[in-house]
Structures are given as structure tokens and as C-alpha cells.
């Protein structure tokens, strides 16, 4: 897509951040580099030579590098060789293994779902299968880390597994030849109702734009005319993928993002005309876990009045890291620039480089939304009003409550709407997630949902026969019955979770939804669990109600 004016764009590996490469100038900012290197070398020599016990020089070196980077900012980082390898694997969009989504429940490894078209799927391995041996060694009591270590491996290598399958009297044995397994970043693509489509992207990897276009094509074929793009908990990823997706929404030649740094001149990226979703109503959902590349998409859409942003203020990760590989395969990621939305907002939140400051930087995000609205305001009337809104959980038009100040400096969108800086992307409408009771949290922590779903499927084989080939039928027809809830409560009680009638009554619809979602997960995989969860997701449901505002924005370029 020929619209980049970057001198160099590094499409490399990164996690929780953006990788933009620029030529690094030899600038030491007044420090005498040689003297500082000499000082460190002498200190390192004295420690390794005179310390009372033997010294692991690798750990010492890694600790020194980590300490050095911690003095810079919260996002410059060191990755060991193993961490670097896994990071590259995760963001390249594939890995090598047997191709199953798995879980470990009550010390038993079971198959949640085989990856369609993968080695396990081709051999007939099914969801619900229990893997009890791997290469003639017991898998009972295995940890998740050990599963990955024993089942992943180079393409072409083989692994033998022994499987117990519900309904089969004898164990089944399979020899699986490992292969490349694709991973997907579009976690959900579905029609919500009428002409509203929904796409959830959990990170930006090499294949995200292609996945997004395919999902968009399928939803349009089903009659989609409005789109909800969900970027909650999306930590970022490849910059070029975020740019391409932003471009799908922006008509003409419009600035998407720009970067500036001490040793990096300003670099601008623009959209091009003629993409696939430039005029239709658009809502983007974000939250405090949406960072980096997610914030680029949300910021570009908001600044150009292209769509409505709803949810929570995003994380505020606006520092650009460049990766530098080290001789042993490890890597350092050094911040080389800041990036800005088209209106000039810096996405980066303020930070303090001290250790306490770094801890506060990550902890502060949890209470940010309500603090911004004034939950801790010295004015009792403001606190009362915000608490009332908090209890009602209704969408809050952010501009009516958060005004420009020394932290939140005002900027203007293309059509003159005021948007605020201060770090992160502040939504047009703040929608806070529903909270659940202690009873719900206890059963979730004890994994009662997963265990109940597994037992229910095993005890009711007719369920799989009836719905396995038709998820939509399951989604529309299947209901968690009162008898099922009695069994669920009994299982929770058996796990020493006392029944609380009031809390149960408050959360009953969420409990039923979680049970249905876990049944879907164990028949079809995690993607289908998320599709069930969306039906009771209060933020998604509130976003749907805001489409009249999004339609006005799409047509007139303003929210009224």
C-alpha cells in the first residue's frame, strides 16, 4: 500500500508496542561514553573477581542491562534469547506443533479443539479427547508449560499420544507429525443483529489485515452495514497492520499517525482512497488494556470524525521501540520516538522513571476512568453524580464531564470537536464494564465453569450429535436449564464455595452465559465461547444503542 513516508519502517517483532526503525545517530547527550563504559567494566570485573561466592556472569550482565533500561522509561526492555524467540513466533502468525487448543483441568490434559486443517484435525483428534500419555510417558498432572514443551516442536518431527475418548471403551493411539500451525488475531467475527457486524482483534500480527479483510467480506455477504470493531485488551503489535486497518476506514489522503524523536526526524503516514469500509457507520470499543497499535487505530478514527470511540480511556502507550538484536539471540528494545495522533495528541501517559514510579504507572490504569470523571473530586456533588452514573452503568458522554485542564489539553478533530490529550485515547462515550459478585468470582477462580461444561458434555452425548455441525443452531436454541443450574451449584458447593442466594440472583444471567460459553468452547473452541459471551456483554449491548450517533458522525462528521 503505497502511502508511507517513513524513511525506514521496521516490520519486526514486538510485543506491547510499536517498532519503528530510524537511523540512530551517534549522540551521547553530553556524557563521556568511553569513561562510562570503562567505569562499568571495572565494576563488573571487581564483582566477578572478588565476590564471596561464584558469580553467574550471564545473570549479572542481563541484570545490568535490565537495570539500565529501567532508568529510561516503562517500555524500553530486555528480552532473553528464549523470550525473543517466543515473541517472534507469536507475532509471525504461526508456530510449529500438533495443532490443538488445550486445557489442563483436574490434572488432566484435554483437547479443547483441534486447529482446523492442522495435523491433529487431519488424524481425527476431537474436542473433549483426554491426552493421558505423550511419547509413552504419563501426562497426568502435567503443567501448561510442560504441554507446550512436549507437544510443540520442529515441522516434520513426530510425537505419539495416548487418548481416552468419552464413549470409547479402549484408549486410542495417534502418531502426529508436527507442522506449521497458523494463529489468528481476529478472535471473533459475527453478526450481532440485523445489519450490525462485530469483529474482535486481540493483537496485531503479520496476518491481521488479511484476516480483517476476510472477516469484513464475510460479514458484508451476510448483510452488514454497520460495524463494531472491538480492540479491548489488544496490547498492540505490528505498526503496519494497524496502519492498514486504519486506512480501510479513512477516505482520501489523510494522516494516520506521525512520530518524532531526538534522533528521529518527524515521520508521517497517510491513508489512500478507495478502501473497503470508508463511509459506513463505525463504532470502536476500547478499554484500559488497549495499547499502542490499538490506540493508533482509535486515535486516527476519532481525530478524523470517522467513527465513535466507546468504552474506557486506553492504556496510553505512545513510545516507539526499535529492536536491537544481541550476539546471543537476546534483544533490547529501545525507545527512539513518540507517536502522535493526527490532531497532535501524544498518546503516551506521563511516567516517573523511578522504581516506585514504574509500579504506579502500571497500577494507576485500574482506576483511571472513574478518577477522570471525578469519583474522587473534592466537590461532593460531583462525587454523588458520578457514583449515580456508576451504579446505573449507562454510557457517559465524556465531553460533558471531563473538561480541558493542565493534564487534559484540548485538541480539535477535523470537524471541530474537542478531544483531550493527557495520554491514551479518551472515548467519546465512557461505558464501564459490569461488575460481578463474589460468588461469581469464586466459581470462576475455582474453574467450576470449565469442569461443569466438561462433565455435562460427557454425560449428554446427544448434545454434541445435535449441535456439532451447526453452531448457530446451538447459539439460538440452547438454554441453560434450571436443573443444570442446580447441578452447577452442587458442584461449586462440593468445591467449598458456599451458595449465596442474593449474589446468585444478581448474576444468574452471567452464570448461565458463562456455562453456555464454556460448553461452546469445549465443542468448537475459544472463538465460539467469545461469541456466546458477546450476547451478555454490557459494553457491546450499550454500543449497539449508540449507532444513531455513529450514523450521524458517518454522514455529517459530528456527534449531536
Residue 526 grid coordinates? 475459544
Q: Which residues pair with 339 in a beta bridge?
A: 259
- Nearest C-alpha neighbor of 202 from the set 245, 232, 241: 232
Helix (H) or strand (E) holding 175: strand 172-177
Given this model, what pLDDT does residue 18 score? 37
Strands of 48-129, DSSP E: 77-79, 94-97, 100-105, 108-114
Say how far apart CA 121 and CA 179 lie, in whole Å. 12
Rg of the chain's alpha carbons, rounded to an integer?
A: 26
What is the Cα 349 distance to its own chain's centre?
Answer: 19
Please list the rounded mean pLDDT of every run of 10 residues in the chain (560 residues): 38 36 40 86 95 94 93 92 83 82 90 86 89 95 92 93 90 94 89 94 94 97 97 92 96 94 90 90 95 96 97 93 94 94 94 74 70 68 72 79 84 93 93 89 94 94 93 95 97 96 96 97 90 93 95 66
Given this model, what pLDDT does residue 406 score? 81
Say how far apart CA 371 and CA 65 lie, in whole Å. 36
Residues 414, 417, 423: CA angle, nearest 5 degrees: 95
Catalytic residue set? 292, 303, 317
Residue matched to cell numbers 495522533: 341
Helix axes 208-221, 239-249, angle to 10 degrees: 30
Strands of 178-293, DSSP E: 179-182, 186-193, 196-201, 226-230, 255-261, 264-270, 282-286
- Nearest C-alpha neighbor of 248 from the set 287, 285, 217, 292: 217
Q: Which residues contact 264 (CB under 8 A, 6 or more apart)?
A: 20, 22, 320, 336, 337
- Nearest C-alpha neighbor of 198 from the set 520, 518, 553, 540: 540
**With left for phi above 0 and alpha for psi between -120 and 50, is residue 527 left, alpha or beta?**
alpha
Pairing of strands 396-397, 418-420: unpaired
- Nearest C-alpha neighbor of 247 from the set 199, 306, 313: 306
What is the Cα 424 distance to its own chain's centre?
Answer: 16
CA distances (Å), 519 to each of 287, 367, 390, in order?
Answer: 27, 33, 32
Going from the N-terminus, what domains does the chain have, and what CATH number goes with each?
A: 94-182 (2.30.42.10), 186-319+340-432 (3.90.226.10), 438-540 (no CATH)
Say how far apart CA 469 and CA 86 lie, in whole Å. 35
**Cβ-contact 550, 139 below 8 angstroms:** no
3-state secondary structure at position 77: strand
Please, is 13 exposed, middle or buried when counting C-beta atoms within 10 Å of its C-beta (0-12, 13-18, 19+)? buried
Say how far apart CA 481 and CA 450 lie, in whole Å. 17
CA distances (Å), 97 to each of 76, 178, 327, 412, in order?
Answer: 31, 5, 27, 49
Please, is 26 exposed, middle or buried when counting C-beta atoms within 10 Å of its C-beta (0-12, 13-18, 19+)? exposed
Q: Which residues contact 73 (CB under 8 A, 6 or more apart)?
A: 319, 335, 351, 353
Q: What is the pTM of this model?
A: 0.84
Residue matched to cell numbers 551521547: 28
Residue matched to cell numbers 449497539: 544
Amino acid at each position: 500500500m503505497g502511502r508511507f513516508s517513513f524513511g525506514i519502517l521496521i516490520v519486526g517483532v514486538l510485543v506491547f508496542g510499536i517498532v519503528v526503525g530510524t537511523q540512530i545517530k551517534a549522540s551521547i547527550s553530553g556524557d563521556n561514553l568511553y569513561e562510562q563504559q570503562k567505569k562499568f567494566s571495572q565494576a563488573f570485573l571487581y564483582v566477578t573477581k572478588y565476590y564471596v561466592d561464584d558469580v553467574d556472569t550471564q545473570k549479572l550482565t542481563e541484570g545490568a542491562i535490565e537495570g539500565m533500561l529501567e532508568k529510561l522509561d516503562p517500555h524500553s526492555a530486555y528480552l532473553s534469547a528464549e523470550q525473543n524467540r517466543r515473541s517472534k513466533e507469536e507475532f509471525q502468525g504461526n508456530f510449529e506443533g500438533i495443532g490443538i487448543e488445550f486445557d489442563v483441568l483436574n490434572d488432566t490434559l484435554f483437547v479443547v479443539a483441534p486447529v482446523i486443517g492442522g495435523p491433529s484435525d487431519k488424524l481425527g483428534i476431537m474436542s473433549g479427547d483426554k491426552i493421558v500419555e505423550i511419547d509413552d510417558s504419563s501426562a497426568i498432572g502435567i503443567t501448561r508449560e510442560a504441554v507446550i514443551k512436549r507437544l510443540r516442536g520442529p515441522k516434520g518431527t513426530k510425537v505419539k499420544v495416548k487418548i481416552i475418548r468419552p464413549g470409547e471403551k479402549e484408549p486410542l493411539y495417534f502418531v502426529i507429525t508436527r507442522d506449521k500451525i497458523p494463529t489468528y488475531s481476529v478472535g471473533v467475527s459475527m453478526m450481532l443483529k440485523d445489519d450490525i457486524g462485530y469483529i474482535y482483534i486481540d493483537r496485531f500480527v503479520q496476518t491481521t489485515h488479511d484476516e480483517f479483510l476476510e472477516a469484513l467480506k464475510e460479514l458484508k455477504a451476510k448483510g452488514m452495514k454497520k460495524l463494531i470493531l472491538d480492540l479491548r485488551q489488544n496490547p498492540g503489535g505490528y505498526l503496519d497492520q494497524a496502519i492498514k486497518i486504519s486506512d480501510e476506514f479513512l477516505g482520501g489522503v489523510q494522516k494516520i499517525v506521525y512520530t518524532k524523536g531526538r534522533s528521529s526526524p518527524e515521520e508521517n503516514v497517510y491513508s489512500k482512497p478507495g478502501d473497503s469500509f470508508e463511509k459506513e457507520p463505525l463504532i470502536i470499543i476500547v478499554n484500559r488494556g488497549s495499547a499502542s497499535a490499538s490506540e493508533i487505530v482509535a486515535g486516527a478514527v476519532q481525530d478524523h470524525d470517522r467513527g465513535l470511540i466507546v468504552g474506557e480511556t486506553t492504556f496510553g502507550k505512545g513510545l516507539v521501540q526499535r529492536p536491537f538484536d544481541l550476539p546471543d539471540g537476546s534483544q533490547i528494545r529501545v525507545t527512539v520516538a513518540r507517536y502522535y495522533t493526527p490532531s497532535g495528541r501524544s498518546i503516551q501517559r506521563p511516567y516517573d522513571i523511578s522504581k516506585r514510579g514504574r509500579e504506579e504507572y502500571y497500577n494507576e490504569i485500574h482506576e483511571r476512568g472513574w478518577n477522570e470523571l471525578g469519583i474522587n473530586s473534592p466537590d461532593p456533588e460531583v462525587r454523588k453524580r458520578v457514583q449515580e452514573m456508576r451504579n446505573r452503568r449507562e454510557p457517559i458522554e465524556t465531553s460533558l464531564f471531563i473538561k480541558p485542564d493542565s493534564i487534559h489539553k484540548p485538541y480539535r478533530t477535523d470537524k471541530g470537536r474537542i478531544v483531550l490529550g493527557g495520554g491514551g485515547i479518551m472515548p467519546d462515550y465512557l461505558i464501564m464494564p459490569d461488575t460481578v459478585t463474589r460468588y461469581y468470582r469464586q466459581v470462576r477462580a475455582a474453574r467450576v465453569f470449565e469442569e461443569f461444561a466438561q462433565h455435562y458434555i460427557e454425560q449428554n452425548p446427544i448434545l454434541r450429535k445435535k449441535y456439532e455441525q451447526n453452531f448457530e443452531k446451538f447459539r439460538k436454541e440452547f438454554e441453560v436449564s434450571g436443573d443444570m443450574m442446580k447441578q452447577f451449584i452442587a458442584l461449586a458447593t462440593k468445591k467449598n464455595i458456599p451458595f449465596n442466594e442474593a449474589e446468585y440472583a444478581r448474576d444468574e444471567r452471567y452464570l448461565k452465559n458463562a456455562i453456555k460459553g464454556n460448553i461452546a468452547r469445549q465443542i468448537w473452541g475459544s472463538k465460539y465461547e467469545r461469541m456466546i459471551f458477546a450476547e451478555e456483554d454490557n459494553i457491546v449491548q450499550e454500543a449497539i444503542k449508540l449507532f444513531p450517533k455513529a450514523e450521524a458522525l458517518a454522514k455529517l462528521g459530528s456527534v449531536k
